Amino acid sequence: MITIIHGGHRKGLSFEAANALKDLLVKKGCLVKLYSLMDYKIDFCCGNQPCQDSGVCIYTDVLTDEILPAVEDSNVFVVFTPTYFNLPPAMLKNFIDRCNLLLTVEERLKPYFAAWVSGQTEEASLEQCRRGLVTFAEICEFKPLANGFVLCVERDNHKLRLDDDDMSIIQNLAINIASLD
């Protein structure tokens, strides 16, 4: 199974890219779950980390009931995100914080991980967001897909549609993922 997370709060370039990957993978016969975090009410992490001791989150919501179990059962996990203030958007950062629960599951798959980072900002800002996602992937012991954890870092200049270069990257990503699933 493949889990895709879209971490933005609007339907911009990262949303288009996430859906394009999902569509290509479905055509290849893969089981894909795409979660666009903007569609869900997810409680903020309490920060006290009681889940590390108990293995249970203090909240019961779509994240604990559906999204994290999907990530746990996935062979491949892909994140698509815009960049805000050199970081992923707050809803994706909250998702990452709540993934602390994954660290308590001893017998879980360690899926391959990839990310697509875009933004209307300078390259240094995109790079800082990329580094944060790489750190997240390393802490969760995800395996890098293909040539690394983050496959595309793109300065989008208000671009809302994928161009041929974007689609080439996504098609190559779909081929790599389908071979693993």
Q: Measured between alpha carbons, how far is 94 from 160 in angstroms, rounded to an integer?
A: 25
First to last CA, the chain: 6
**Nearest residue to 115 via CA among 97, 94, 138:** 138
The first and second tokens of residue 33, run together, are 């779950």
The first and second tokens of residue 107, run together, are 């017998």
Q: Measured between alpha carbons, how far is 171 from 141 in angstroms, rounded to an integer?
A: 26
How many of the other CB atoms lie within 10 Å of CB of 75?
17
Q: One digit per residue, pLDDT tens: the chain, 181 residues?
A: 999 999 998 888 899 999 999 999 999 999 999 999 999 999 998 888 888 878 888 999 999 999 999 998 999 999 999 988 888 999 999 999 998 878 877 767 789 999 988 887 678 888 888 899 999 999 998 998 866 666 666 666 666 678 888 888 899 889 989 988 6
What is the distance of C-alpha 66 from the center of its chain?
15
> Whole-prediction pTM value?
0.91
CATH 3.40.50.1820 fits 2-180, yes or no: no
Q: Measured between alpha carbons, how far is 76 from 174 in angstroms, rounded to an integer?
A: 11
Residue 27: per-residue pLDDT: 97
